[in-house]
Amino acid sequence: MSTTSETRSVAPPAKGEAPSPEFLEYLATKSRELENATPEEIIRWAATEYGDGLTMATAFGPEGCVILSMLAAIAPETYVFNLDTGYQFLETLDTRDRIARKYGIEVDMLQPELTVPEYEAKHGGPLYKTNPNQCCMDRKIKLLYRGVEGRTAWMSGIRRDQSADRAQAAIVGWDKKFGLVKVSPLANWTKKEVWGRILKDDVPYNPLHDQGYPSIGCYPCTQKVIEGESDERAGRWSGTAKTECGLHSLETDGSGI
């Protein structure tokens, strides 16, 4: 499918302004047009549409690694960052280095103002045990606000089949929480398609995926998935009602998450 269409581009709202109905309709139309496009076509459209206003956040999951491999061929100058909470697995950090060596993309590691020891001392111990939502807010979401400062659009690696909370993800939509256009090139891909591309193109990935961790976040809040659990994200915040850190939770005005 070609991404060329007669849809006229509509400028995104200025920082702090609400999107106009015309802009939301443009995003919805564009999302429908790109529904059957390849991820490469979606990335190419986003890079052309938003230029240096486009950014990407990655946790080096399989989807993020696949997008990085595509981005290296399409728009390698795109600013990409990681939310380095201080609680990441060493294998995750090593994956970042292997991606850089293969594709030449240096992912910026954004870190909170307080180190882990300082943060835990401030709160009388690990906050992820007593208030994981606040921990995610302080060490992830606030970092993302910093990473997207001055940007117009950001890309994510979410897939609709990952969880019920992500099933409504649009290819292109308005992210109300962060005041940005959100582009999800792999929204309509399956896990099989992602891993097929990884194996076909020898894309570097986190070796923990081979050890029973389908979804990897911070090590205190990530466990191996028990055999028989179908939800890919079952190992995240296991034993609690929490399923998302808040970056991709449903916070939408109807145009997508």
Q: Is 218 marked within a binding site?
A: yes
What pLDDT does residue 240 have? 58
What pLDDT does residue 3 have? 46
Alpha helices in the chain (DSSP H): 21-33, 39-50, 62-74, 90-103, 116-122, 127-130, 132-136, 142-147, 191-201
Residue 37 to residues 94, 186, 191: CA-CA distances in angstroms?
32, 10, 17
Residues in the chain: 257
- State mean pLDDT over 176-200: 95
Q: Which two three-digit tokens encode residue 249? A: 């939770």
Q: How does pLDDT run across 132-151, given as a tens digit for each residue?
A: 989 999 999 999 999 999 99
Q: How does pLDDT run across 26-68, given as a tens digit for each residue?
A: 999 999 999 999 999 999 999 999 999 999 999 999 999 999 9
Burial of 126 (0-12, 13-18, 19+ CB in 10 A): middle
65 is known as an active-site residue: no
From the list 89, 97, 81, the residue with the least C-alpha distance to 143 is 81
From the list 162, 161, 164, the residue with the least C-alpha distance to 250 is 164
**This prediction's pTM:** 0.85
Question: Which single residue is written with the structure tokens 């939800």?
Answer: 231
Contact 186, 215 (CB under 8 A): no
Q: Is 65 marked within a binding site?
A: no
Residue 126 to residues 9, 215, 253: CA-CA distances in angstroms?
47, 22, 35
What pLDDT does residue 103 have? 97
Catalytic residue among 71, 203, 208, 245: 245
Residue 204 to residue 105: CA distance in whole angstroms:
13
What pLDDT does residue 2 have? 44
Contact 96, 60 (CB under 8 A): yes
CATH topology of domain 21-221: Rossmann fold (3.40.50)
Q: Who contacts 140 (Cβ-Cβ below 8 Å, separation ≥6)?
A: 83, 85, 245, 246, 247
Cross-sheet strand order for the sheet of 54-57: 108-110, 79-83, 54-57, 153-155, 180-183, 172-175
Q: What whole-number percentage of the chain has pLDDT above 70?
A: 85
